[in-house]
Amino acid sequence: MEFEALKKSGITNLLSAFGRSIWLPQGIFYWTGRAKKEAAIDATIGSAQGPESEIVDGAPDKAVTFYIPSVTRYLGGPGSEDEGRGRGTRTSSEDIVAYAPMLGLPDLRKAWRDWILRKVGELRSRVEPCLTLPAVTPGVTGGIFMAAKLFVDKDEVVVSPDRLWENYSNVVERHIGGRIETFPFFEGGRFNLKGMQRKLLDTLAEQSKALLMLNFPNNPVGFNPPKDIVQPIVETLVEVVEQAGKPIVVLCDDAYEGYTYDPDALQRSMFGDLCDAHRRILPIKLDGISKEFLCYGGRLGFLTFGLPSGLDADRKALQEELDNKLGGVIRSTVSNCTRPVQAAILKALGQMDQVLAERGRVVDVLGRRARLLQAEFAKVDLPQFKPLPFNAGFFCFCDIEGVPANKLAEHLISKYKIGVVPTEAGKINGIRIAFCSVPEKDIPTLVSGVVSAIKDLAG
């Protein structure tokens, strides 16, 4: 593949050296594709197949990927208790044991695209022409890894607010050899626009493009920007690319999309607002079922590009070339993603009103916990204890002054039997509280324990 569309669109210039080099040879897939359409005898497929009647007594003669009922029964397929009860929930053996296509089940990719369009709400008409067909990744983590592999070069800087998911360091720095540079998350209690702008401009003074990691709702801070700051964030990024004359790739880590407890905060991902914001801004959406569908172990994520309009390249060719690059990464790392979960999520996506109604109960519970935690924090009058603003997600973060965070966490767990995650990194010293896992009734005790532990250690 020559990747002409990627070259014409300028996206080739955004790719890392690895991203430029990777491609998916057509080889096997070319011949399996041809055989599927044209062959009477197909000897291209590398999985055991044949008439179902050959392996299961009484089964029909239809061709299947061979399976073992004592395995598929545990995945709701043949052999399971539900079989034949007509509930319509039985999973076919094919949806359990067959390989999934490298980029994901085609119908699932389409259905997730529709889900993204539903999530962007009133921005739909603007976002729709930009959206590629999502590629299925192994969780959001897998999507972050693939995006970083394709777009981040060795020694290249990735900009992020200074409270970030710790795993970014392993992905970007240790796997790829890039560098994460941060700016302070808040300035005067608001998202630090100026800090972001300065950091991006400084970065662009040194390199041909900038990468920005935006994770809202954030881990560890549990913050989603108020609606009135979204446009200023977008405008700031537009100003940056205009001033620098260079592009920005924005990686939107939307793992916690949908968990916002404040009506004045952004309820959707900022990805939608970044779509077509500027020819030199390429947003990439990384989302998935771990939190959105409360299915952490399902290991399904999605990587979707928001291709700006005005790119001098055919969209269909761009999709094919991006799919080829992603296919190269997926095939050479995880090969493809778990098929039974793809099949199940495809079915769930077909009844999103019900899924959202059921998830709404969880969002309500977490919202109540967040508000109670905010109320308990508001009662605390302790100069060493500084909770950061939070209104979303699964966590909140409290800066701690005068007591090392690790020491505090150790004291909290040994004396008060309260577990939190400490961070001591450069200027940051604080604890992350996962309110997602603390029932409401325990929240006052949690807060009083933290306060007592700080007092014990601060002397």
Ligand X SMILES: Cc1ncc(COP(=O)(O)O)c(C=O)c1O
**Which residue of this chain has its Cβ atom nearest to ligand X in the complex?**
139
Q: Is the separation of the CB atoms in 229 and 193 below 8 Å?
A: yes
Q: ∠ at Cα 338 (336, 339), nearest 5°? A: 100
User: Closer CB to ligand X, residue 247 or residue 340?
Assistant: 340
Smallest gap from Cβ 164 to ligand X, in A, equals: 8
| Burial track 393-416 (b if 16+ CB lie within 10 A, e otherwise) | bbbbbbbbeebebeebbebbeeeb
User: Closer CB to ligand X, residue 3 or residue 216?
Assistant: 216
Smallest gap from Cβ 254 to ligand X, in A, equals: 8
Element (H, E) at 69: helix 69-72
Residues contributing to the site for ligand X (CB under 6 A): 139-141, 165, 215, 219, 253, 255, 288, 290, 296, 301
Smallest gap from Cβ 290 to ligand X, in A, equals: 3
Smallest gap from Cβ 274 to ligand X, in A, equals: 18
Q: Which has the closest alpha carbon to 45: 64, 62, 25, 73?
A: 64
Find the farthest-apart pair of alpha carbons in the chain and give their distance in angstroms, rounded.
82
User: Closer CB to ligand X, residue 9 or residue 224?
Assistant: 224
Smallest gap from Cβ 140 to ligand X, in A, equals: 3
Q: What are phi and psi of 417, to 5 degrees?
A: 60, 40
Smallest gap from Cβ 297 to ligand X, in A, equals: 9
Q: Which has the closest alpha carbon to 94: 349, 295, 342?
A: 342
Distance of alpha carbon 80 from alpha carbon 347, whole angstroms: 18
User: Closer CB to ligand X, residue 164 or residue 204?
Assistant: 164
User: Closer CB to ligand X, residue 45 or residue 334?
Assistant: 334
Smallest gap from Cβ 23 to ligand X, in A, equals: 26
Distance of alpha carbon 217 from alpha carbon 395, whole angstroms: 9
Range list of β-strands (E), 6-122: 49-51, 63-65
Q: And the tokens for 51?
A: 């008439």
Q: In this structure, how many other beta carbons lie within 10 angstroms of the beta carbon of residue 165?
A: 18
Q: And the tokens for 380?
A: 């605390």
User: Closer CB to ligand X, residue 339 or residue 411?
Assistant: 339
